[in-house]
Amino acid sequence: MSNDTAKNQNQLDPIMQIEQLSVSFPGQGKKRNFAVNNVNLTIYPRQTLAVVGESGSGKSVSAMSILQIIPTPPGKYEHGKILWQPDPNVPVENLLDYNEKQMQTVRGNQIAMIFQEPMTSLNPVYTIGEQIIEAVRLHRTVDRAQSIEIAIKALSDVGIADPASRLKEYPHQLSGGMRQRVMIAMALACEPKLLLADEPTTALDVTIQAQILELLRHLQDTQDMSIMLITHDLGVVAENADVVAVMYAGRVLEFATVENIFERPLHPYTRGLLKSMPVLGQSVHRLPTVVDGATIPEDFPAGYHVEPHVTTPDPEIGYGGKDARLYEVEPEHWVLCTPASGNPIQPSQPGLRYRRVMAR
């Protein structure tokens, strides 16, 4: 194989692979609650992985673990790997092996995060301009004049009018939606390889939301950026995701292409979630809680047991039973379940190189 072929093939490798990640917080007595429980996720270059699930399912903790910004204590990274390969020419590394100094070279630079609550990532005592310019100069080799230009362009890209004068304002002078956009501009100005977008457009009106999602799609191609899109909005998932992971009680229950998730949901929880999907155009701020006993599809692949959905996972064994793992029960379709006795299949890492064709 020539070097070129090797390189091209490498580029088809995942940019990030999370393997058996568990993160806990103190629970009652000496027990610990697993906010993230043996999570497996894969993201390929330029791909959008949507992570959906109701409040408390572990979406934000999963994303924050990638950047190691969970406060420890009380949190604890119990085990797992976060394999990271931003460039096919560098070796794969486990971010959980990185020390704080090494993580600083990753945060904001290779991997940026848009937080659910914009005020947490904006400093109230500096102007918007100072903050974006500092972020840009920290992560890119540009002079001050260039960094101002980049900041102005970034603000204008996220739909902020008169960006040059906005640069002189402080966060408290902006509306919530405006702050959210400033944070997005700041994250994107650093040209990350992976963007962790935690409910990025929740605070925004529909027009701006569409504009920002369109901008993100554009940057995926022009900047080679992958996106982990955390959202409660199944409409946003349907329109923007390539692959989808459904989470509940700290576990990934189902992983498949966006088409398979919507057209052939297999896990009872996912089916319940889609059944409760609001009518198009109605906005909701949280995914509804799925009631117990949601149906198991009659044609669920033979050779596996999937548990009916229960809203109170057993605290000792977690959700789905202690032997439940992600199995590829149909081609390109993973479900948290247990194989029937005699079925020799092994659990496997969910991940698909798939990117849908979008009308752009």
Ligand X SMILES: Nc1ncnc2c1ncn2[C@@H]1O[C@H](COP(=O)(O)OP(=O)(O)OP(=O)(O)O)[C@@H](O)[C@H]1O
Residue 47 Cα to chain centre, angstroms = 11
Chosen residue from 74, 176, 293, 297 binding ligand X by CB under 6 A = 74
Site for ligand X in 93-152 (CB under 6 A): 116
Q: State the number of binding residues for ligand X (CB under 6 A).
A: 14
Q: Which residues contact 9 (CB under 8 A, 6 or more apart)?
A: none
Site for ligand X in 11-30 (CB under 6 A): 25
Closest CA to 214 of 180, 187, 206, 122: 206
Residue 139 binding target from ligand X, Mg ion, none, CB below 5 to 8 Å by type? none
Q: Residue 58 interacts with ligand X (CB under 6 A)?
A: yes
Which residues partner with 196 through β-bridges? 113, 228
Residue 315 binding target from Mg ion, ligand X, none, CB below 5 to 8 Å by type? none
Selected range binding ligand X among 59-67, 233-241, 272-280, 316-324, rule: CB under 6 A: 59-67
Closest CA to 215 of 165, 156, 147, 175: 156
Q: Residue 35 interacts with ligand X (CB under 6 A)?
A: yes
Selected range binding Mg ion among 30-38, 54-62, 261-269, 272-280, rule: CB under 5 A: 54-62
Q: Residue 38 interacts with Mg ion (CB under 5 A)?
A: no
Chosen residue from 40, 42, 60, 260 binding Mg ion by CB under 5 A = 60
Closest CA to 37 of 73, 16, 15, 61: 61
List Cβ<8 Å contacts ≥24 apart for 136-142: 136/189, 136/190, 138/108, 138/109, 138/190, 139/108, 139/109, 139/190, 139/191, 140/190, 140/191
**Shortest CB 156 distance to ligand X, Å:** 30
Chosen residue from 8, 31, 56, 356 binding ligand X by CB under 6 A = 56
Q: Residue 61 interacts with ligand X (CB under 6 A)?
A: yes
Contact 52, 58 (CB under 8 A): no
User: Could you give phi then psi for residue 235, rounded to 5 degrees?
Assistant: -65, -45
Selected range binding ligand X among 51-59, 154-162, 253-261, 288-296, rule: CB under 6 A: 51-59
Chosen residue from 55, 105, 123, 283 binding ligand X by CB under 6 A = 55
Residue 55 binding target from Mg ion, ligand X, none, CB below 5 to 8 Å by type? ligand X
**Shortest CB 231 distance to Mg ion, Å:** 10
Lookup: tokens for 118? 């914009």
Q: Which is nearer to Mg ion, 75 or 268 (CB)?
A: 75
Selected range binding ligand X among 41-49, 57-65, 158-166, 309-317, rule: CB under 6 A: 57-65
Q: Residue 59 interacts with ligand X (CB under 6 A)?
A: yes
Q: Which is nearer to ligand X, 56 or 297 (CB)?
A: 56
Residue environment code for 42-51, b if the CB has 16+ CB neighbours within 10 A, otherwise e: bbbbbbbbbb
Q: Residue 60 interacts with ligand X (CB under 6 A)?
A: yes
Question: Which residues contact Mg ion (rule: CB under 5 A)?
Answer: 60
Question: Which residues contact ligand X (rule: CB under 6 A)?
Answer: 25, 35, 53, 55-61, 71, 74-75, 116
